[in-house]
Amino acid sequence: MVPPIIGWNNRVLAVKFKCSIVKGIMPDQSHQSDPRILARRTLERDHRCLVQFLKPGLSVLDVGCGTGAITAGIAKAVGPHGYVIGVDRDEALLERGRTQYASLSNLRFEIGDAITLTFRAQFDVVTAARTLQWIAEPAVAISKMRAAAKPSGMIVVLDYNHTNNEWQPDPPREFRIFYDAFLAWRHSNGWRNQIADELPDLFRSAGLVDVKTYVQDEVIERGDPEFADQTALWSEVIETLGGRLAMAGFCTELELIQARERYTEWVRTELGKQRLELRAVTGIAP
C-alpha cells in the first residue's frame, strides 16, 4: 500500500520554487476538466451522499456541473415539480450537457463561476462535487453557495484528499514522479490537496450549522466491472493536464510519456486496488 503523501520530493520542490520566482505563478482559475471523466459519472455512484437528501419538488443548484452527468440525475430525482440549475465556467462542457439532456424540461445550464455566484435564497439544496479542489478561494465559494440556499436549505460538497490516495501494490516510479508533480503544480496554484479535510471548518466559518462529514471513498479492485474505466482516470489526467505541468516546469515531456506508458502497463498487469479519498460534507443555512 502506498502511504499517504505528506510532501513532495526535493526535485519537485526545487522546480516549484524556481517556477514561482521566475514565472510568478498565480492561482489559475482556468482549469478545464476532461469531458471523458465527467461524462461517465452518475449521481448514484459518484455523488451518492446527495441521493439521500433529494426528493420530488426540490430546487437544486449544482456548482461546477461540467457535462451535467450528475446534474441530470439530480433533475430526474426531483422530478417535474422540482427544478435544477447547473453552473459551470466551461461553455463547451455546458453545451454538451444542453445537447445530451435537452429532454429534461426541469434542468437548465448556465455559465458561471463558484466564486461569483449571484443567486440569493433560491434553492433547497446547493451542491458541488469535485469542484472546490480547483478553486483557490474555497471559502468564498462556500459563502456564495450559502447565499444561494434558502433559509434551512442544505449545502452538500463532495471533494478529495489527494495526498491520501492509495494504490496496492505501490505504483511504479514513473507514475509517482508524475503524481508528485501533479500535487506540487496544484499547490502552486493555491488549490488544496486536502480540501476535503478543510471543508467542515470552512462550512462553520461561513455560518453553516449542523455540519456533518460522510466517508465517500472511491474504491475499485481488480475484477470489478468498472475497473478499467475507473483506473483509466490517471492516464486521462496525464493526457489532459500533463502539458500544463511540463510548461510550468514541474516535469518533462519525457517523464509524462514514461508515466503514462508505465502506468497503463501496471494497471493492465499488476494494480490490485485503488482508493481515492473522498469526503462529503453537509451543512444547513440558518
**How confident is the model over 190-248, as pLDDT tens digits?**
999 999 999 999 999 999 999 999 999 999 999 999 999 999 999 999 999 999 999 99
Contact 127, 60 (CB under 8 A): yes
Domain total in the chain:
1
State the cell numbers at 58: 426540490
Whether 217 maps to a domain, the answer reads: yes
Confidence of residue 106 (pLDDT cuts 50, 70, 90): very high
- Mean pLDDT over residues 247-264, rounded? 98
Whether 3 maps to a domain, the answer reads: no
> Exposed (0-12), middle (13-18) or buried (19+): which is 137, by Cβ within 10 Å?
middle
Cα radius of gyration (the chain)? 19
> Exposed (0-12), middle (13-18) or buried (19+): which is 254, by Cβ within 10 Å?
exposed
Confidence of residue 30 (pLDDT cuts 50, 70, 90): low
Whether 1 maps to a domain, the answer reads: no
Res 39: pLDDT: 73
H/E stretch holding 17 reads helix 10-23
Among 27-41, 72-86, 173-187, 198-212, name the one with the lowest average pLDDT: 27-41
Among 35-44, 101-110, 112-121, 122-131, name the one with the lowest average pLDDT: 35-44
How far is 21 from 54, CA to CA, in rounded Å? 48
Q: What percent of the chain has pLDDT over 90?
A: 86
**How confident is the model over 8-29, as pLDDT tens digits?**
344 444 444 344 433 333 344 4
Whether 256 maps to a domain, the answer reads: yes
Among 2-6, 46-50, 193-197, name the one with the lowest average pLDDT: 2-6
Res 241: pLDDT: 94
Picking from 39, 63, 235, the residue whose alpha carbon sits closest to that of residue 134 is 63
Whether 95 maps to a domain, the answer reads: yes
Q: Is the pTM of this model over 0.85?
A: yes
Whether 4 maps to a domain, the answer reads: no
CA 159 to chain centre: 6
- Mean pLDDT over residues 180-199, rounded? 98
- Mean pLDDT over residues 4-10, rounded? 40
Confidence of residue 33 (pLDDT cuts 50, 70, 90): low
DSSP-derived secondary structure letter, 8: -
Whether 2 maps to a domain, the answer reads: no
CATH number of the CATH domain containing 83: 3.40.50.150
Sign of CA dihedral 44, 110, 78, 103: negative
Contact 164, 216 (CB under 8 A): no
Whether 158 maps to a domain, the answer reads: yes
Contact 14, 22 (CB under 8 A): no
φ, ψ of residue 4 in degrees (nearest 5):
-55, 140
Domain that holds residue 217: 10-284
- Spell out where the chain has E strands: 59-63, 83-88, 107-111, 123-129, 149-160, 166-168, 209-215, 218-221, 273-276, 278-284
